[in-house]
Amino acid sequence: MHEIHIRPGEDLQAVLESAPAGATVYLAEGEYRQKVMITVPGLTIVGQGAEKTVIAWDDYAQKIHADGKEYNTFRTWTVAVCADGVTMRDLSIVNDALHPEVKGQEVALTVYGDDFAMADCVLSSTQDTLFVGPLPKDLIARYDGFLPDILRQDRLLRQRFDRCRIEGTVDYIFGCGDAVFTDCEIRNVYDARHIGYAAAPAHALEQTEGFLFRNCRFTCDDGVDTDSIYLARPWRDYGLARFVDCQYDRHIATVGFDKWNDTHRDETARFIEQPAVPGRVAWANRQTEA
C-alpha cells in the first residue's frame, strides 16, 4: 500500500493530484487552508482527529469569481470529491465565510464520486454545508459552460457517512445522491433568520434510496429557537428522505417538514419517519407508503 504523509504548509492539492490511485494520504495535525479538488480514485485521506486536522476555505455564492461572475452555490466548496472510491476519516472540512443571510450559500464538502465513505469527521458551514451529487437534471443542463463537466456528472452516486457531525443553518444536507447517515450528529448552528431546514433532497422518481438518516441525533446551538427548524423540505419534486430511530432536540418543528415555499411539492415529496412522530404534516408519511 502506498502511503503519503503531509504537513500544514505543504500544497495539499498538488499532493492529492500526484498520488497514485488507491494511496493512503495521512494529514498531520493543523489547518490546511486551501481549496481542494480530489480527482484520483480510491484515495484514503486520514487526519489526526476532527478537532486536530482541518481543511478550511471561505468562498461564498455572491463572491465574484475570476471569470467576472458570481461563484454560485456550486463553486463555493472547500473540498470537492470528483473520483470514485474515496474514503475520508478523522478530519474536519470547513467553509468559514459565515453570514449566509448576506453572502449566500457556502458549501464545505461537495461529493460527485460514487462509493464515497466518510467516518468520524466534522463538516461545518452555514447554508448548504454538504452537497451530495449529482445535480438535478435541470441544473446539469443549465450550468453547461458554467461548471466544468466533472461537476455536471449525470449518474447515480452513493455516499456513506458514519459517526460524523454535520452542522449548518439552511438546506445544509442537499442533493440527489443516495446517501446513508449512520450515528451522525446533525447540528443546527445559529442563523440570524431564525428558521432553518436540515435536509433538501432532490431525488428523481426512479430513485428508491435517497437520504437515510439512521440513529442520528438532531441537535442545536443554544441560540437556535425552539420549534424553528424543519427536518427536510423537497428541493425538487420526489425528494426522498427517511429518518429511522432518530432523536430530536427542542429546535425541530412539531410539523417536521416543509413543502418549499409556494410550490406543490408536498404532493410528490417522499418523507418518512420510523417510528412515526405525532403532529407531523399529514402528507409526509403518505408519499412513501403509496
Judge if 224 and 286 occupy the same domain.
Answer: yes
Q: Which residue has the cell 486520514?
A: 46
Residue 118 lies in a domain: no
Judge if 187 and 207 occupy the same domain.
Answer: yes
Judge if 152 and 240 occupy the same domain.
Answer: no
228-260 as b/e: b if 16+ CB within 10 A: bbbbbbbbbbbbbbbbeebebeebbbeebbbbb
Which cell numbers in the block locate residue 116? 464515497
Residue 156 lies in a domain: yes
Judge if 89 and 183 occupy the same domain.
Answer: no
Judge if 91 and 35 occupy the same domain.
Answer: yes
Residue 214 clears pLDDT 90, i.e. is over it:
yes
Residue 191 lies in a domain: yes
Other CB atoms within 10 Å distance of the CB of residue 64: 9
Residue 188 lies in a domain: yes
Q: Is this structure's pTM higher than 0.95?
A: yes
Task: List, for residues 138-153, the tens digit of each pLDDT value.
Answer: 999 999 999 999 999 9
**Contacts of residue 132, Cβ cutoff 8 Å, sequence gap at least 6:** 111, 157, 159, 173, 174, 175, 176, 177, 179, 211
Residue 253 clears pLDDT 50, i.e. is over it:
yes
Residue 244 clears pLDDT 80, i.e. is over it:
yes
Residue 101 lies in a domain: yes
The arithmetic mean of pLDDT across residues 31-45, rounded, is 98
Round the average pLDDT of the chain to a whole number and report it. Answer: 96
Judge if 152 and 270 occupy the same domain.
Answer: no
Q: Which CATH number fits the domain that encloses residue 42?
A: 2.160.20.10
8-state DSSP, 64: B
Sign of CA dihedral 126, 132, 133, 137: negative
Judge if 155 and 141 occupy the same domain.
Answer: yes
Distance separating alpha carbons of residues 122 and 84, to the nearest angstrom = 21
Maximal CA-CA distance, the chain: 54
Judge if 179 and 154 occupy the same domain.
Answer: no
Judge if 258 and 147 occupy the same domain.
Answer: no
Residue 116 lies in a domain: no
Chain mean position to CA 47: 19
Region of residue 75 (phi > 0: left; psi between -120 and 50: alpha; otherwise: beta)? alpha
Residue 119 lies in a domain: no
**Contacts of residue 64, Cβ cutoff 8 Å, sequence gap at least 6:** 70, 71
Domain that holds residue 205: 169-290
Residue 91 lies in a domain: yes
Judge if 206 and 150 occupy the same domain.
Answer: no
Judge if 176 and 268 occupy the same domain.
Answer: yes
Q: What is the predicted pLDDT for the residue at 1?
A: 73
Judge if 233 and 202 occupy the same domain.
Answer: yes
The string of DSSP codes covering 229-254 is: EEEE--SSTT-EEEEES-EE-TTB-T
Residue 286 clears pLDDT 90, i.e. is over it:
no
Number of domains the chain contains:
2
